[in-house]
Amino acid sequence: MPQSCFICQKSPAVGNQIARRGLPKRTGGIGLKTTGISKRRFRPNLQRVHAVVEGRRCRIRVCAACLRSGRVTKAG
């Protein structure tokens, strides 16, 4: 099953996880130093819901943003 939203096709995005050490300048330090960068994934908040799609009731995976905005007609 793909990790994407049925409505808006939101899927995992790629970013960096940055490890830092030190104290920020604004709090009296000499600044933050980067000690490592590794890849990470930002996954969408997918929920499995029973919804009405093209007049039929089926179970789909939808992101929370689509649920909150009302783009999904839940079958109840």
50 falls within a domain: yes
51 falls within a domain: yes
Task: Say what the pLDDT of residue 76 is.
Answer: 77
8 falls within a domain: no
How many Cβ atoms are within 10 Å of 6's Cβ, its own excluded?
Answer: 19
Domain count, the chain: 1
> Which domain, by its residues, includes 23?
13-69
3 falls within a domain: no
Task: Look up the CATH number of the domain holding residue 32.
Answer: 2.20.150.30
38 falls within a domain: yes
Tens-place pLDDT, residues 42-55? 999 999 999 999 99
Task: Return the residue matching tokens 């109840």.
Answer: 76
Mean pLDDT of 5-34: 97
